[in-house]
Structure 1
Amino acid sequence: MTHDVLSARATRREWAALAALMLPVLLVSVDNTVLSFALPSLSTALAPTGNQLLWIVDIYALMLAGLLIAMGSLGDRLGRRRLLVTGSIGFGVVSLAAAFSPSPEALIVMRAAQGFFGAMLMPSTLSLIRNVFTDARDRRIAIATWAAMFSGGAALGPILGGWLLQHYWWGSVFLINAPVVAILVPLALWLVPESRDPRPGPVDPISIGLSMLAMLPAVYAIKHAVHAGVDDVTVACLALAVASGIAFVRRQRRSVTPMLDVDLFRNRVFAGSVVANLLSLMALTGFLFFAAQLLQLVLGLEPMVAALVLLPGLVVTVAAGFVAVALVRVVPARVLVAGSFVASAGGYAIAAFTGHPSVGSVMLAFTVMGIGIGMAETLTNDMVLSHAPPHRAGAASAISETAYEVGAVLGTAVLGSVVTATYAAHLAVPADAVGGGSHETLGATLEHASTLPNGIGTALSDSAVAAFDLGVQYASGVAIGVALLAALISWRTLPR
């Protein structure tokens, strides 16, 4: 049973409010991927280790994933617009600090702070949409717009990053947030109505702490296991996450006013849509992690040219979301969502099995993948919200957003680590090049190779490119399996 209501249609003011709400969506989604194209120049400027480089990418989404449920609940209680404005201001300030980070450690801290404030933004946007658009038809269009901005922003990140890196230094990719925040805050205060749970319970610090202890160690354990194997740290983190998760669920079930309505997961459509969200973002961020390096470092493209290779995929991703709104009236949702994941698998297959990667193969792979991602995100988010009561919109939105951010972490942690581990295992460093520079990342290895005599430098760079190429193939094979699993789950759980 859904909670769709055919109420009064939206007016111009509601659509203007939607436009304002798209700004924080762009902020968070662009920052999920804008660093992709800055990784080569960042590696040269700050000289991070391979592990630090992964943390610079991961910590943002890790903090988002750990805090979204808590922030969604706070928004339901304290006011969603208030949380949105507070998060926007904080996000803008720490973005300025990130742009001028003097070391990898400082940048990791600033990225974590971005994740903290970003967690205030995302549940607020989706839950405000749920309450602003009471008509089911209008809400579906609004959610399609939201999903298009989220996936489009994720694809736009490398393009913006590419243009900025063509003209400025790596830190400039963070400066784009400040003008967006300056526009967003007054527009939100003017256009977006305040909303909250009409019967909020008290803020529950214990539940907030337990939700963080369930999310953060779990995501870290996955990341650590892929990089270092299943060791004592992995087991301890998973044990802490499982114990905290069980305690969290029990506390919610006993509470008269729970922070999170865990009974939402009894609904197969809700649960299946959440899992589909997670796996969709895993495919997208994993591809962007290695595609940016592949285009610049292996194929030798300038940052802006490399970013433009992804432009057709961006356009298709945005368009596919709106096409899904029309198609779902005549084609069952489970057919569309399952088919979208098959398309994502096809995109990865192009990346993995078309021989040595080329500009054309990367462009085609991302375009095919964009069809799947755009359709899946629109339909699954609509089903998440339509199967949750309006007064729990913040909590439901937070669950959906948490799935997004866990997917983003897994995309980089799992697929990125497959690339990194394969690269490390197959890189052959000539004896004369050992000890003369860092070989943990492709960028650092090629930088060192350029300083060596011709024969030695060429051998090192050829080996590095071949090892990275093999890593991309292995990661693509894993991603194909993930996408097909998502298709199966969608087929089994979504409405017929």
Structure 2
Amino acid sequence: MTHSDAPSGASRSTGTHAAADLASPPAVDPAADLTSPPAAGRGAPDAPGPGPRAGRREWTALCVLMLPLLLVSMDVSVLYFAIPAIGADLHPTGTQQLWVFDVYGFVLAGLLMTMGSLGDRIGRRRLLLLGAAAFGGASLAAAYANSAETLIAARAVLGLGGATLMPSTMALVREMFRDAGERARAIGIWSGVMTGGIALGSVLSGLLVEHFWWGSVFLVNLPVMVLLLVLAPVLLPESRSPRKERFDLLSVPLSMAAVLPLVYGLKEIPSEGFHPLYVLSLAVGVIFAVLFVRRQRTATAPLVSPVLFRGRGFGPAVVLNLVASFAMMGSALFTTQYLQSVLGKSAIEAALWALLPSVLIGVAAPAATALVQRGVSRAGVVAAGFVVAAGGYGLLALAGTHSLWTVLAGAGVLASGIVTVMSQLTDLALASAPVERAGSASSLMETGQEFGGALGMAVLGSIGTAVYRHRMPAGAPAAARETLGGALAAAGRLPGRAGAEVVAAARDAFTAGMHAAALAAVVLLVAAAVYAVRKTGLRPGPARGASNHPPAAGPDTAETAPSGR
């Protein structure tokens, strides 16, 4: 199975189950309601229903916010076609080439929670502007890097900038759109842009490298960041928690020590197997995750406030969002390799074909929002999205070795279901969180996506690999029995008929592995749909022990600072 052949940057690196334990004992089961957030109050989540309507300024500001979001998501895949040219120019070692791919995702995942919390304290717009400046400067440095070390360092700073931009954009959407219906539409747009950017990045990379030089894939970031730096102070409101909370510095290394080993282990297992180093990495990550959770429960000013998990709906939103990312990235591991290594498409052809399923993404989120606004329960829409995604995996399970349209249809159906789920869960999480904790809430959702994506590639990739190795003939070359890429390389060294037989066997084995992984994903997604419905059995209402009256001002109930709109 060729999990090692897909660019390692394909994984978006990783929602942890440990985060669910941040809720303190008095907290209500957070999954009690996917249909309405708790009663509003000072510092409380928004009440369902109409609020102040957004005007032209807010919608224009949303368009501005989508530009950096698009670039951050594109940077996940923008090196796919640039790396051969980079190799020819900078001559990186094999290890350095891997770091060129991976350091962006590692830094992004490791700093999301820190930056989300920092934005709540210093201001989300200010953090957005700082991140845009860092992202633009790092893009310029990467474009003109004259050594592999310089490029790796620039990619690391790009990850830092991305970690500031992602939670800031989502938190500002929460601040600008107070009306529930408008916020849902805005978040649907946010989800579609985020998902579409990943698919667009590889295509843009191929086109730019074909007509310019490899540095152009970074230079395209500059005009967008300049535009953001000019327009954001005019169009975007500033918002922060009014409490002058100290920043818990100890939580920062603890969060990174938890996230980075988990991301690393999960990312390497699909291609390298359960090597002791990667198992140890996972164990270290789990240990530090426990320490991080303990710190958040006892610190006076935690990086991630346990209050978030007292809001009805926030906990299940994080968990189900992780499952959705698991499904999305797990499928990408197979579909990209299927197009190239089974159907024999070139890299740029595969990227262009892979854009077709993205068309359905633009329809899914608005349709889901419209259903909720017409009275369909959010739980029903989320469950339906998971079922639709399961149907997409079902199509992948039916694909043969010459089933281009079946695979594209499956990928499109899957993507539309997942975007439906993600848009509704993001809206639920932000509506359930106190306004002053919007940055932390956003960063937790996005960290969950990072974990879910890496976990999906690890689990489904391992299933596919096991089936592939079982199905390959014992007489095939050793490299061919490991991965599809190894089989194609080995076949090239064999005489005609023998080589063709190895290729045919490898493609059959890969497709069988994809079938097994798809069926496993179907089971998970159906279970997620059942969970979404069953956890909404309680009648809507305030969280247990909560009052419909505004709570007294305190550490976790302070109002958001005036937006300045």
Return the TM-score normalized by structure 1.
0.85
Q: Which moved more, 1:78-87 or 1:339-348?
A: 78-87
Please tell me the residue identity of whatever aligns with 1:292. T
SS state of the match for residue 75, structure 2? Answer: helix
Aligned residues: 492
Quote the Cα distance in structure 2 between the aligned partners of 1:298 and 1:218.
31
CA gap 1:392/1:485 in 2 versus in 1, 3 angstroms? same
Quote the Cα distance in structure 2 between the aligned partners of 1:466 and 1:8.
57
Instruction: Give the aligned partner of residue 131 of structure 1.
Output: 175
CA gap 1:359/1:235 in 2 versus in 1, 3 angstroms? closer
CA gap 1:325/1:157 in 2 versus in 1, 3 angstroms? same
Quote the Cα distance in structure 2 between the aligned partners of 1:105 and 1:457.
40
CA gap 1:107/1:351 in 2 versus in 1, 3 angstroms? farther
Q: Which moved more, 1:478-487 or 1:75-84?
A: 478-487
Quote the Cα distance in structure 2 between the aligned partners of 1:163 and 1:138.
36
Instruction: Give the aligned partner of residue 212 of structure 1.
Output: 256
Confirm whether residue 23 of structure 1 aligns to residue 67 of structure 2: yes
Quote the Cα distance in structure 2 between the aligned partners of 1:481 and 1:204.
41
SS state of the match for residue 205, structure 1? Answer: coil
Q: Does the 8 Å CA contact 1:64/1:119 hold for their aligned counterparts?
A: yes
Please tell me the residue identity of whatever aligns with 2:167. P
Instruction: Give the aligned partner of residue 198 of structure 1.
Output: 242
Rg comparison, structure with higher value: 2
SS state of the match for residue 86, structure 1? Answer: helix
Return the match for 1:395 from 420, 423, 440: 440
Quote the Cα distance in structure 2 between the aligned partners of 1:69 and 1:37.
31
CA gap 1:190/1:453 in 2 versus in 1, 3 angstroms? farther
Matches within 5 A, 1:162-181: 162-164=206-208, 167=211, 173-181=217-225
Return the match for 2:407 from 355, 362, 365: 362
- TM-fit CA distance, 1:29: 1.8
Q: Does the 8 Å CA contact 2:187/2:423 hold for their aligned counterparts?
A: yes
Please tell me the residue identity of whatever aligns with 1:241. G
Instruction: Give the aligned partner of residue 17 of structure 2.
Output: none
CA gap 1:443/1:60 in 2 versus in 1, 3 angstroms? farther
Instruction: Give the aligned partner of residue 319 of structure 1.
Output: 363
Q: Which moved more, 1:243-252 or 1:169-178?
A: 169-178
Instruction: Give the aligned partner of residue 256 of structure 1.
Output: 300
Gaps of 5+ in 1: none
Quote the Cα distance in structure 2 between the aligned partners of 1:157 and 1:20.
19
CA gap 1:297/1:245 in 2 versus in 1, 3 angstroms? closer
Please tell me the residue identity of whatever aligns with 2:450. E
Identity value in percent: 44
- TM-fit CA distance, 1:427: 5.6
Please tell me the residue identity of whatever aligns with 1:486. A
Confirm whether residue 481 of structure 1 aligns to residue 523 of structure 2: yes
- TM-fit CA distance, 1:420: 5.2
Confirm whether residue 270 of structure 1 aligns to residue 270 of structure 2: no
Return the match for 1:341 from 367, 380, 386: 386
CA gap 1:267/1:313 in 2 versus in 1, 3 angstroms? same
CA gap 1:288/1:163 in 2 versus in 1, 3 angstroms? farther
- TM-fit CA distance, 1:451: 6.3
Q: Which moved more, 1:266-275 or 1:221-230?
A: 221-230
Please tell me the residue identity of whatever aligns with 1:295. L
Return the match for 2:337 from 281, 289, 293: 293
Instruction: Give the aligned partner of residue 195 of structure 2.
Output: 151
Please tell me the residue identity of whatever aligns with 1:474. A
Please tell me the residue identity of whatever aligns with 1:120. T
Cα offsets for 1:53-103 (capped at 9, x unmatched): 887665543432221111101111122222222222333444455567899
Instruction: Give the aligned partner of residue 350 of structure 1.
Output: 395
Q: Does the 8 Å CA contact 2:107/2:159 hold for their aligned counterparts?
A: yes
Confirm whether residue 72 of structure 1 aligns to residue 116 of structure 2: yes
CA gap 1:331/1:222 in 2 versus in 1, 3 angstroms? same
CA gap 1:274/1:449 in 2 versus in 1, 3 angstroms? same
Instruction: Give the aligned partner of residue 470 of structure 1.
Output: 512
Instruction: Give the aligned partner of residue 164 of structure 2.
Output: 120
Q: Does the 8 Å CA contact 1:207/1:259 hold for their aligned counterparts?
A: yes
Please tell me the residue identity of whatever aligns with 1:334. A
CA gap 1:468/1:39 in 2 versus in 1, 3 angstroms? farther
CA gap 1:97/1:353 in 2 versus in 1, 3 angstroms? farther
Cα offsets for 1:131-162 (capped at 9, x unmatched): 12223232222111111211222333344345
Quote the Cα distance in structure 1 between the aligned partners of 2:258 and 2:435.
26
Cα offsets for 1:448-471 (capped at 9, x unmatched): 644665345434433443343333
Quote the Cα distance in structure 2 between the aligned partners of 1:455 and 1:416.
30
Quote the Cα distance in structure 2 between the aligned partners of 1:96 and 1:30.
16
Q: Which moved more, 1:5-14 or 1:219-228?
A: 219-228
Return the match for 1:411 from 456, 479, 501: 456
Cα offsets for 1:400-431 (capped at 9, x unmatched): 11112222222333334544565566566988
The structure with the greater share of residues assigned to helix is: 1
- TM-fit CA distance, 1:174: 4.5
Cα offsets for 1:360-419 (capped at 9, x unmatched): 112111121122022111110000000001011111111111112222222333334544
Q: Does the 8 Å CA contact 2:308/2:434 hold for their aligned counterparts?
A: no
Higher RCO structure (Cα 8 Å, ≥6 apart)? 2
Q: Does the 8 Å CA contact 2:357/2:408 hold for their aligned counterparts?
A: yes
Return the match for 2:421 from 369, 376, 379: 376
Quote the Cα distance in structure 2 between the aligned partners of 1:62 and 1:231.
20
- TM-fit CA distance, 1:309: 2.7
Quote the Cα distance in structure 2 between the aligned partners of 1:129 and 1:468.
42
Gaps of 5+ in 2: 1-37, 40-44, 540-565
What's the RMSD between the two structures over aligned residues? 3.7
Q: Does the 8 Å CA contact 2:342/2:401 hold for their aligned counterparts?
A: no
